[in-house]
Amino acid sequence: MREVAIVGIGMTPFGELWQDSLRNLFAKAALAAIDDAGVDHIDGMYIGAMSTGLFVGQEHIASLMADYLGMPGVPAAHVESACASGGIAVRQAFFEVASGAGEIILAGGVEKMNDGADTTYVLATAADQEYEAFHGVTFPGLYAMIARAHIHKYGTTREQLADVAVKNHENGFKNPNAQFRMKIDRETVMNSTMVADPLRLLDCSPVTDGAAAVIVASMDVAKKLARPYVKIKASAMATDSLALHSRKDLAALPAVQKAAERAYKQAGVTPDKIDVMEVHDCFTIAELVVMEELGLVERGKAGAAVSAGMTRLGGKIPVNTSGGLKSKGHPVGATGVAQVIEIVEQLRGAAGDRQVANAGLGLTQNMGGSGGSCVIHILEAMS
């Protein structure tokens, strides 16, 4: 396969964006990415979105977005894998370019979650309908079970969960596109409203509108553009049982481990070589379990590592410098693309107050549901 690069990035602010429609959000992000890349055309596009039909009543979004961008006739496809939809859109663009089928492909993600839909119902469609959703289990409930299992098995503490949120809000405070640009402390997290024991309101990512897009191109195109670009060293994916009860260990996320093993092998690197990571912290417990599955720490040690500052800016391996889903926001279809954008900015040296010094390798981890699907990308800075 050919070498592939990301040559352009663009995203909207994340939040409750009442003034923008689904199509406007996507168009803003896509046009910003095209402008950043300096390209005059694209050969196709992939659009990650979890459930635009249920959120805003709009399906067939591939045709809609191509037309609204003023690009009728361009091949376009909607990609869905719950909250991993955006990351898999990037993966599809990667493969199209790597295979030689296209030279310049747009990969985007979009979701409009605040327009009146029953968000709890819509998000529950990413769970097992017969065995989970039908019986009233929500995603906070599912991740609360994961948290309880982790606490029971490893002794993870309520304070350690809170420290994940504190760190990510500290980073999000420095991100102009974040939904919640505010610092919080441990006590505020632990005293926030109970949602699903032991998870409280400030352990949970918010309901968010937003869009993000990247331009993926062949290395030959990237070099000719004479603009900053990063190389996609690996794109790996794995799946697991959709229903949480079907798994052997509730305190683990096997799809993350499998995808990570494949990504590290493709890139020819080990976890200790990664300089910065964006991971799927839909709930604070998710960040801890993902850290363990990625091989950053031994199982059961992630909570202590976060509380000790290992994953803060300036720490051994900064995690979620964007603020993560927790602070930046989580417009589910756009999240995986936004993670890639943060890593591209880090590798370009353009992350401002969030910049990780001398960042050369970055990783994104995006997953759907309670870990039923996971996609990981490893990106490399290019001089």
pLDDT for position 44? 98
- How far apart CA 78 and CA 65 sit, in angstroms, is 10
CATH topology for 126-204+233-381? Peroxisomal Thiolase; Chain A, domain 1 (3.40.47)
- How far apart CA 347 and CA 315 sit, in angstroms, is 17
Q: Is the CA virtual torsion 182, 187, 188, 192 positive or negative?
A: positive
pLDDT for position 372? 98
Question: How many C-beta neighbours within 10 Å does residue 268 have?
Answer: 10
Q: What are the backbone angles phi and psi of residue 330, rounded to the nearest 5°?
A: -140, 70
What is the distance between the terminal CA atoms of the chain, rounded to a whole angstrom? 22
pLDDT for position 280? 98
In sequence order, which residues have a C-beta less than 8 Å from that of residue 126 and are 6 or more positions away? 50, 82, 83, 139, 368, 369, 372
Tokens for 237?
A: 């994916």
- 95, 235 Cβ separation under 8 angstroms: yes
Residue with tokens 């794995």: 238
| pTM across the whole model | 0.98
How would you write the pLDDT of the chain (383 residues) with one tens digit per residue? 899 999 999 999 999 999 999 999 999 999 999 999 999 999 999 999 999 999 999 999 999 999 999 999 999 999 999 999 999 999 999 999 999 999 999 999 999 999 999 999 999 999 999 999 999 999 999 999 999 999 999 999 999 999 999 999 999 999 999 999 999 999 999 999 999 999 999 999 999 999 999 999 999 999 999 999 999 999 999 999 999 999 999 999 999 999 999 999 999 999 999 999 999 999 999 999 999 999 999 999 999 999 999 999 999 999 999 999 999 999 999 999 999 999 999 999 999 999 999 999 999 999 999 999 999 999 999 96
The partner residues of 211 in beta bridges, in order of sequence, read 110
Q: What is the largest CA-CA distance in the chain?
A: 56
Fold agreement between 4-118+208-225 and 126-204+233-381:
yes
pLDDT for position 52? 98
What residue spans define the domains of the chain? Answer: 4-118+208-225, 126-204+233-381
pLDDT for position 117? 94
- How far apart CA 376 and CA 263 sit, in angstroms, is 7
Tokens for 219?
A: 């290395």
The CA-atom distances, in angstroms, between 193 and each of 151, 189, 196, 267, 333 are 20, 9, 9, 42, 27
- How far apart CA 74 and CA 203 sit, in angstroms, is 41
The CA-atom distances, in angstroms, between 337 and each of 9, 212, 245 are 9, 6, 30
- How far apart CA 170 and CA 136 sit, in angstroms, is 34
Residues designated as active site: 83, 330
pLDDT for position 54? 98
pLDDT for position 313? 98
- How far apart CA 15 and CA 202 sit, in angstroms, is 16
Contacts of residues 357-361 at CB distance under 8 Å and 24 or more positions apart, as own/partner, are 358/275, 359/275, 359/276, 360/275, 361/233, 361/267, 361/269, 361/273, 361/274, 361/275, 361/276
Q: Which amino acid is at 237?
A: M
Residue with tokens 């929500």: 138
The CA-atom distances, in angstroms, between 210 and each of 90, 127, 286, 326 are 17, 23, 22, 14
Among the listed residues 305, 268, 275, the one whose alpha carbon sits nearest the alpha carbon of residue 290: 305
- How far apart CA 234 and CA 36 sit, in angstroms, is 23
Domain 4-118+208-225 class in CATH: alpha beta
- How far apart CA 228 and CA 232 sit, in angstroms, is 14
pLDDT for position 166? 98
Question: How many C-beta neighbours within 10 Å does residue 351 have?
Answer: 21
Q: Which amino acid is at 79?
A: V
pLDDT for position 297? 98
pLDDT for position 196? 98
